[in-house]
A and B are shown apart, each in its own frame.
Chain A
Amino acid sequence: MRARDGEAGAFAALVELLQPRALRFAAQMVGSGRDDAEDIVQEAWIRAHRALPRYDEGRSFESWYFTILANCCRSLRLRLVRWRHRTAPLDDQLRDDAIDALLATSTRDDVQRVYRALATLPAAQRETFLLHYVEGFGYDAIAEITGVGISACKMRAKRAMDAVRDLLREDPDHA
């Protein structure tokens, strides 16, 4: 791996590849705004760069980085008392106007509802939901990232999805 061998350009390429998804994931995990998300993602990159010599090429770099990122999110979340008092929905700054323009208004509203529903879930369920349904990781990768068994990951994802569905059905705006 070129980045592990000290090629800074290769490391920048990895950042370019994963940064948008990392920001999106971190923002939803800590739920406290773009600044915190950027700080977490930056911290995760610093840790990843430091740990590059220990990176196992047999493992997906993507899931390896998300393992570090998820740990950073957990650490920060513990420090963020305000998380419990969070009422704001999705941090709009993370949204892309060009993408939004392509979405139907009803879909944009539904996205907000999903984010509101996610904010009510236990952190472990929200984490699994985001990793699986949004970031596209398989359960084997999520098991590596979260450090729990595959069965537990599947259970968390199912419970999270069930809860999101229930919350959406209860949402008066969700026909």
Chain B
Amino acid sequence: MHDELPGDDARLSAALDAMRQTPRTSADAVALVAARAVLANAPAARATRWGYRAAAALLLLGAGALTVNGRGSQSTTVASAELSERTAIAVAPVPVRPVLATANRPIVFELEAAKARSVQVLGDFNGWSLDADRMQRGADGRWRLTTLLPPGRYVYAFLIDGNHFQPDPSRDAVEDRDFGVTGSELVVSEAP
């Protein structure tokens, strides 16, 4: 594709070769760029429904699946800090009709999604991690995950086939005042 340069331009040719070397980019930085682009174009309801962290979490899945030469660069640090900041804001108290659970008692997340290939539960309790809390499909076609959670208030959602967020249809939706997120809320009380 590149034109051959005359031999007496060997230094110019070497300089151009050097200019073509591609700097590495961190996975977090890529995910943030993609998340911003998606959210900037999302209809208002969608943008506020899931907010920044959910989109970033979703997009991290795509970036994380790639071979990325992360190097702990400055951009990675900035990206992580921004995500953490957004997450901290998102868990501010909101008007609730919470589902109550009790610490030290198993909590069962359940979703009917017979055609899904995979379902995960993402929430404040696992840092919206895309690597944790994969649900198992039962013989009845329902996906379940049983876990224990420490006391606290959590917002969570299901991620279906790695690309579709859905709140828990069996539980009351809550609106997050910071992002206007409609999600599902879970409050785990202290063990008696």
Residues of chain A whose beta carbon lies under 8 Å from any beta carbon of chain B: 6-13, 15-16, 19-21, 23-24, 41-42, 45-46, 48-50, 94-96, 98-99, 103-104, 106-108, 110-111, 113-115, 132-138, 157, 161, 164-165, 168, 174
Contact = CB atoms under 8 A, between A and B. Distances in A.
Contacts of A115: 19
Determine chain B's interface SS by DSSP, over half rule: helix
B139 interface: no
Contact of B11 (A24, A42, A106): A106
A16 B35 CA distance: 12
A113 B59 contact: no
Contact of B162 (A9, A23, A42, A136): A9
Contacts of A6: 163
A94 B24 CA distance: 10
Contact of B36 (A24, A45, A96, A161): A45
Contact of A49 (B11, B27, B41): B41
B1 A138 contact: yes
Contacts of B1: 132, 136-138
B44 interface: no
A10 B34 CA distance: 10
Interface of B: 1-3, 9, 11-12, 14-16, 18-25, 27, 29-31, 33-34, 36-38, 40-41, 55, 58-63, 65-66, 68, 71, 162-163
B5 to A, nearest CB: 8
Contact of B68 (A16, A49, A99): A16
B12 A12 contact: no
Contacts of B31: 12
Contacts of A42: 33, 36-37
Contacts of B18: 99, 103, 107-108, 110-111
A9 B22 contact: no
Contact of B20 (A46, A134, A137): A134
Given A8-B58, A9-B65, A107-B14, A134 B34 contact: no
Nearest to A21: B22
A13 B63 contact: yes
A20 B15 contact: no
A131 to B, nearest CB: 11
B137 to A, nearest CB: 21
Contact of B163 (A8, A41, A98, A161): A8
